Amino acid sequence: MSNANTTLYRQVAQDLAADIEQGVYLAEQKIPSVRKLSKQLQVSVSTINQAYALLEDQGLIRAKPQAGYFVRKGVNDEPVPPPVSQGGQPKAVTKVELINHILENVNKKSSIDLGCAIPNYSFLPYRSLQTHMQKVTRFNMEGVFNYEFSPGLESLRAQIALRMRDVGLRCHADDIVITQGCSEALHLCLSSATQRGDIIAVESPCYYGFLQMANLRGLKVIEIPTDPNHGISVDALKLALEQWPIKAIMVTSRYSNPTGGSISSEKQKQLVELARQFDCQIIEDDIYGELPLDSSALSVICEKGPVNTVIKTHDTDDRVMYCSSYSKTVGPGLRIGWCIPGRNKKAVIQAQRFSTMATSSLPQLTMASYLQNGHYDKHLRSLRQMVTENIKLFSQTVQYNFPKGTRLSVPAGGFILWICMPENVSSIELLHRAQAESISIIPGDIFSNSDQFNHYIRLNCATPWNEDVKHAIARLGEIAQELEGENKC
Ligand SMILES: Cc1ncc(COP(=O)(O)O)c(C=O)c1O
């Protein structure tokens, strides 16, 4: 298929989608037949067929045998986001066994992997990385084979410091510590800010890794109510800080995992102010921050724009510890992360020297060379476009196939869908039945110490869209309907 043809059928599909969105064609209304539209637009029948197939994939229209194409019911309905969660009391992490069990199962190879929140390699700049890896192994053998002691490769830190200016953060290479992914960054920051028995505050739901880390360090966790769109409740956090001696607030600032919600710049300032007032530290996870979606393309289902600052941007007394990595944008296997630990820098570097001692040199040199080359922004633009398209397709497919009453948090960034099913659908049971058909998902249970997300699931949308994925999501919807029926009796 030529490029011109590819663009043409997409253009036709886009124009029709816009007509549907603007109500030119209403739900259940017939749209022009393939032949009529091909004549009207003076394009080939096959172009219209391709455009209609795409609109079907996007869930906007459906074919009725012998009758033509119709706008789908409910197509203009915006998904209802999940409700604001409930908070709790500080307690030790109780879900470690469950988290281990689920992750062990999810990490086994499934034919359709919608579980792990990692981008499929086809979304990543692997060819470019290959070139840079070859370059550094050819021209910098000494560097590749030597230790790169904490705080890590200076040229990489300098590149990261430059990029931090995009979020209004003026830091220097010396402020940055390179780590084994965001996980090590979070671990080091958490251990420098807390001691056994301390209490930390997290969003509810939060990335399950926060719960694992808290458990490992013998910390208690208090969950703070969170709005799936707008993040952690500052008011609820203030109440918790008034009541408990909270040592650190661990929070994902932009496009949180699993809700996709972000904290606005205004709220980021309030968080810093609260931390100052109650003398605690903030451990900020911004791993999805470079992945805002194209909100204009998602305007039907999502009207949230990018957040161009991070919590650390507003930090005036060095109490925010910023953590991130290239796992979601360049490749999780590189294990390149970093933190800006502020006042805890010395403690963080010392803890790293005493534990891993140094981060692998080859990925650091490769990443520095790749960033210097200036292709990263171009890659991010195409990644955002691919993910935006997928989020649209995935969320529409969920809307059409999951039981009535299912609520859906469509993110403004990142590549995760957070789905709230009717209360009598157990997400663990859904996982078991889906795994029997080689489809993996992550059940909501592991994102909280509480049981309030037992009917939620998380789907990874950074996987190439095809018929198998579409059928897998539809099948998940069917199983959810079966479970709902069974549990009514
Ligand atoms: C919010 C969040 N933080 C941290 C991590 C861990 O990142 P890394 O693979 O860079 O250690 C993940 C991975 O899924 C994540 O979703």
Q: Which atom of ligand 1 is nearest to the CA of 332?
A: 9
CB 332 near ligand 1, within 6 Å? yes
Q: Summarize the confidence of residues 67-83 as an average pLDDT.
A: 78
Q: Which pLDDT does position 427 carry in this prediction?
A: 96
Q: Which residue has the tokens 């800010």?
A: 193
Distance 333 CA to ligand 1 centre (A): 12
Quote the longest CA-to-CA distance of the chain. Answer: 73
CA–CA dist 440, 54 (Å, integer): 25
pLDDT tens digit string along 144-171? 999 999 999 999 999 999 999 999 999 9
Q: Which pLDDT does position 305 carry in this prediction?
A: 65
pLDDT tens digit string along 188-203? 999 999 999 999 999 9
- Using pLDDT thresholds of 50, 70 and 90, give the confidence band for residue 313: very high
Q: Which pLDDT does position 104 carry in this prediction?
A: 85
Task: Give SS3 for 222.
Answer: strand
Q: Which pLDDT does position 76 carry in this prediction?
A: 57
Q: Which pLDDT does position 303 carry in this prediction?
A: 46
Give me 348's structure tokens. Answer: 């963080």
Among 92-106, 318-332, 342-356, the minimum mean pLDDT is found in 92-106
CB 460 near ligand 1, within 6 Å? no
CB 190 near ligand 1, within 6 Å? no
CB 12 near ligand 1, within 6 Å? no
Q: Which of 327, 334, 446 to mutate to test the pocket of ligand 1 (most atoms within 8 A of CB)?
A: 327
- Using pLDDT thresholds of 50, 70 and 90, give the confidence band for residue 299: very low
Predicted TM-score of the model (pTM): 0.86
Q: Summarize the confidence of residues 85-109 as an average pLDDT.
A: 88
Give me 34's structure tokens. Answer: 């393939």
Q: Which pLDDT does position 474 carry in this prediction?
A: 93
Q: Which pLDDT does position 2 carry in this prediction?
A: 42
Q: Which pLDDT does position 74 carry in this prediction?
A: 65
Q: Are the beta carbons of 254 and 413 closer than 8 angstroms? A: yes
CB 38 near ligand 1, within 6 Å? no
- Using pLDDT thresholds of 50, 70 and 90, give the confidence band for residue 306: confident
Q: Which pLDDT does position 298 carry in this prediction?
A: 62
Give me 15's structure tokens. Answer: 């124009």
Number of helices followed by number of strands (H, E) in the chain: 16, 17
Among 247-251, 293-297, 351-355, the minimum mean pLDDT is found in 293-297
Q: Which pLDDT does position 300 carry in this prediction?
A: 42
Q: Is the dihedral of CA 219, 222, 228, 234 positive or negative?
A: negative
What residues form DSSP beta bridges with 324?
A: 338
Percent of the chain residues past pLDDT 90, beyond the cut:
77
Q: Is the dihedral of CA 112, 251, 88, 100 positive or negative?
A: positive
Q: Summarize the confidence of residues 397-404 as an average pLDDT.
A: 89
Distance separating the N- and C-terminal Cα atoms of the chain: 52
Single-letter amino acid code for the residue at 350: Q
Among 126-135, 305-314, 418-427, 456-465, the minimum mean pLDDT is found in 305-314
CA–CA dist 107, 118 (Å, integer): 11
Q: Summarize the confidence of residues 104-114 as an average pLDDT.
A: 80
CA–CA dist 435, 441 (Å, integer): 8
Q: Which pLDDT does position 399 carry in this prediction?
A: 87
Calculated CA dihedral for residues 457, 460, 463, 466, nearest 10 degrees? 30
pLDDT tens digit string along 449-475? 999 999 999 999 999 999 999 999 999
Distance 183 CA to ligand 1 centre (A): 6
CB 110 near ligand 1, within 6 Å? no
Distance 326 CA to ligand 1 centre (A): 9
Q: Which of 206, 287, 360 to mutate to test the pocket of ligand 1 (most atoms within 8 A of CB)?
A: 287
Q: Which residue has the tokens 């929070």?
A: 251
